[in-house]
Structure 1
Amino acid sequence: MTSEGMAADQSTAQGRSSLMALAGKYLTFQLGGEEYGLEILKVREIIGMLDVTYVPQTAPFVRGVINLRGKVIPVIDLRRKFGLEHRDDDERTCTIVVEVQSGSGQRLLTGIVVDQVREVVNVRGEDIEPTPSFGSYMDTAYILGMAKVDSGVKILLDIDQVVGDSQLVLA
């Protein structure tokens, strides 16, 4: 076998190993007709929609802040963040409170608004595929992988990338 072939095999094995490390429990939710998953260890709680206080000079995907038992936390609308069509909130719309790590290493609570929470699923490593390449049309840095669950595919999100590196305030 050539050195190029061996390097390719080693790279494939490392890629498969990193996907296997993603195995575990995920909270799944619906957004714009698609299902997504978050590592359950990042989820702090799921709450109904609370009154949101608008904060001026924030990014368009930031709904504002909420008071959650005395803690003020930012709330991000994932529909807006992902460029999906607007949809009015209904009785299934809820906020998932997640703990993310900022670029500076600080742990932060943030609320993300989703259309509907579905279930907690156990995803096996062998059921996770790498994120397909979408060319320059789509930033896939926030996607951990694609999980084949039952007869569908769930997009596994890196919530630290989605929320932690967001520019919440306009310059």
Structure 2
Amino acid sequence: MSETAARARTVQLLEFELGSEAYAVDIAHVAEIVDVNDLTVVPNSAPHVEGVMDLRGKTTTIIDPKTVFGIGGGGDGKRIVVFDRDLTANGKSIGWIVDEVDQVVEVEPDDVESSPVDDADDAVRGVIKRDGDFVIWVRPTVLDV
């Protein structure tokens, strides 16, 4: 197989931390990464909605994936991963508040194991084993507001 064909199979993932765990999303879904600024709380919003913020003139809904995925403790939400509006549910501007953004890595499809849980909403794309730890590859498109 040529090097070009091998590269076509790899996927670039953005790794980030939620609490003490490592997660990743396909970098193709990411529009930008910004620091957490003042959020405006939206009364009567869903528990996973932290609030909204103005991001370059667009109202962006900020979601706490820890609430959605049932992750407890650790971290204080320092960064926001903003997703491409064309790839989110209903074309909304959405960002996830994460504890840290780590790195972008290339992953071979053979390095991804299927999800160990019966994931009805298809949030977990797979699990990547690296250096004795696991990185959980999630789909950002399953979280809606």
TM-score range, shorter chain: 0.7 to 0.9
Secondary structure of the equivalent of 2:92?
strand
Secondary structure of the equivalent of 1:126?
helix
CA shift, 1:117, in A, is 0.5
Contact between 1:123 and 1:149, CA under 8 Å: does it hold in 2? Answer: no
**In structure 1, C-alpha distance between the alignment counterparts of 2:126 and 2:136, rounded to whole Å:** 6
Contact between 1:30 and 1:116, CA under 8 Å: does it hold in 2? Answer: yes
Aligned CA RMSD, in angstroms, stands at 2.1
The residue number in structure 1 matching 2:110 is: 126
In structure 1, give the amino acid aligned to 2:41.
Y
What runs of 5+ residues in structure 2 fail to find an aligned partner?
Answer: 1-7
CA shift, 1:101, in A, is 2.8
Secondary structure of the equivalent of 1:160?
helix
What runs of 5+ residues in structure 1 fail to find an aligned partner?
Answer: 1-20
User: Which runs of 4 or more aligned residues in structure 1 lie more than 3 Å from their structure 2 counterparts after TM superposition?
Assistant: none
CA shift, 1:62, in A, is 0.3
**In structure 1, C-alpha distance between the alignment counterparts of 2:131 and 2:73, rounded to whole Å:** 29
**In structure 2, C-alpha distance between the alignment counterparts of 1:84 and 1:95, rounded to whole Å:** 17
Contact between 1:80 and 1:86, CA under 8 Å: does it hold in 2? Answer: no
Secondary structure of the equivalent of 2:93?
strand
CA shift, 1:34, in A, is 0.8
CA shift, 1:140, in A, is 6.4
Number of equivalenced pairs: 136
The residue number in structure 2 matching 1:67 is: 54
1:83 to 70, 93, 98: 70
1:149 to 84, 106, 130: 130
The residue number in structure 1 matching 2:98 is: 114
In structure 2, give the amino acid aligned to 1:116.
E
Secondary structure of the equivalent of 2:16?
strand
**In structure 2, C-alpha distance between the alignment counterparts of 1:65 and 1:94, rounded to whole Å:** 14
Percent identity reads: 32
**In structure 1, C-alpha distance between the alignment counterparts of 2:41 and 2:9, rounded to whole Å:** 36
1:96 to 66, 69, 81: 81
Secondary structure of the equivalent of 2:115?
coil
**In structure 1, C-alpha distance between the alignment counterparts of 2:130 and 2:67, rounded to whole Å:** 26
Mean Cα displacement is larger for which, 149-158 or 124-133? Answer: 149-158
